[in-house]
Amino acid sequence: MPLIIAIDGPAAAGKGTLARRIAAHLNLAYLDTGLIYRAVGMKAQREGLEPVKAAQMLTPGDLKAPDLRSEAGGQAASKVASIPAVRAELLEFQRRFAEHPPTPAVGAVLDGRDIGTVVCPNAGIKLFITASDEARAGRRHKELLERGESSIYARVLEEMQARDERDRNRSVAPLVPAPDAVVLDTTLLTADAAFEAALRIIADRTHA
């Protein structure tokens, strides 16, 4: 059985950075499932497609569209992500990746909203990464500015809260920690401290 690490949590909690570092450190493959929903949302908008059709027709090239990481990409993602048939369409690919990670990886790290609850309920390790709304909006605002995009903190905070609200209240695969997830609040942690804390949780669980 490959080691599967599920990392879930609200927007901009630092899941991606953490997941990438854990994957590199432990020789695991990494899948950013949010990027898939972003690609479906943007493809539907760009090509005027019905969202389920966009999910069915998704190509590797769509995952490289330049605007995926924008807040518009996040909003488009969370709209299509609330449609059960879109989620169903993307489920098999995510499960396959987790269960048969590309060689030479010895397992996989997936990050998203429903990895521990729906995609990989049998994952050996489940982390739920959170931080205060202000800390998360501050990090996303900084990230956008560093990428050379224009950003207004108050707007980032408002859009992030709207997206979290939609993700928490949808009928299918809502954003919620799995009952067996370890919750890690990173409000007061640097990225390095969050990484160290996650490694300790993983070590505790894998050696138990």
With H, G, I as helix, E, B as strand and everything else as coil, classify residue 15: helix
With H, G, I as helix, E, B as strand and everything else as coil, classify residue 148: coil
- The H or E element containing residue 169 is helix 153-169
Site membership for ligand CDP, residue 117 (CB under 6 A)? no
Farthest CA pair distance, the chain: 51
Selected from 5, 28, 30, 37, the binder of ligand CDP by CB under 6 A is 37
DSSP 27: T
Site membership for ligand CDP, residue 81 (CB under 6 A)? yes
CA angle, 180 then 182 then 187, to 5°: 150
Q: Give the interface segment with ligand CDP, choosing from 22-30, 109-117, 148-156, 197-205 (CB under 6 A).
A: 109-117
Q: Which residue has the tokens 């169903």?
A: 88
Site membership for ligand CDP, residue 186 (CB under 6 A)? no
Selected from 21, 43, 139, 163, the binder of ligand CDP by CB under 6 A is 163
Site membership for ligand CDP, residue 33 (CB under 6 A)? yes
Site membership for ligand CDP, residue 108 (CB under 6 A)? no
Distance (Å, rounded) from C-alpha 153 to C-alpha 167? 21
Cα dihedral 141/86/173/99 (nearest 10): -100
Which residue type sits at 122? N
Residues in contact with ligand CDP, total (CB under 6 A)? 18
Site membership for ligand CDP, residue 51 (CB under 6 A)? no
Q: Give the interface segment with ligand CDP, choosing from 30-38, 127-135, 143-151, 199-207 (CB under 6 A).
A: 30-38
Site membership for ligand CDP, residue 12 (CB under 6 A)? yes
Residue 26 Cβ, how far from ligand CDP at the closest point, in Å? 21
Which residue type sits at 150? S
Residue 58 Cβ, how far from ligand CDP at the closest point, in Å? 14
Residue 177 Cβ, how far from ligand CDP at the closest point, in Å? 14
Question: DSSP string spanning 173-191?
Answer: S-S---TTPEEEE-TT--H
- The site for ligand CDP (CB under 6 A) is made up of 11-12, 15-16, 33-35, 37-38, 74, 77-78, 81, 112-114, 163, 167
